[in-house]
Amino acid sequence: MRRYNVYASMSGNGRFELIKDNNLPHGDQEMEYWAECFTWEDLKKVIPYFRARGWKLLIEPIEEDDAYGKMHIYSFTYGVNHDIQLLDVMGIRIIMARDITMPKAVKDSFTPGY
């Protein structure tokens, strides 16, 4: 079975990771990650909502075997140094998260001074 990671961006707002709210936590990192990914049925509701508002979307398919060792931004930080917004789109609760610590260009060129 395939699920999807979704990223949304709009000029001036940056790039957000869209995470499906997991209201039944399992305590297992891989199961949590998998439950936070979108199903095809979810995408049929979520994609038109964001596109109608002018957001550009990147949809990344993921297999259950690929979920090993992965974690969504919100799961890892719970809002620390991240801009978090909660939405309800046609009964699907969505967490929009983006890293606000430093711009991507700076992160890519950042060299720790050890």
> Where is pLDDT greater, at 48 or 113?
48
Q: Residue 32 has what pLDDT?
A: 82
Lowest mean pLDDT among 6-20, 48-62, 69-83: 69-83
Q: Is the overall model pTM greater than 0.85, yes or no?
A: no
End-to-end CA distance of the chain: 44
> Where is pLDDT greater, at 67 or 50?
50
Enter the DSSP assignment of 40: H
Q: Residue 6 has what pLDDT?
A: 93
Question: What one-letter code names the amino acid at 91?
Answer: G
> Where is pLDDT greater, at 104 or 66?
66
Q: Which residue has the tokens 């890293």?
A: 99
Which residues neighbour 30 within 8 Å (Cβ) at sequence distance 6 or greater? 67, 68, 69, 70
User: What does the block give as tokens for 42?
Assistant: 């979810």
> Where is pLDDT greater, at 63 or 28?
63
Q: Which residue has the tokens 């060792």?
A: 69
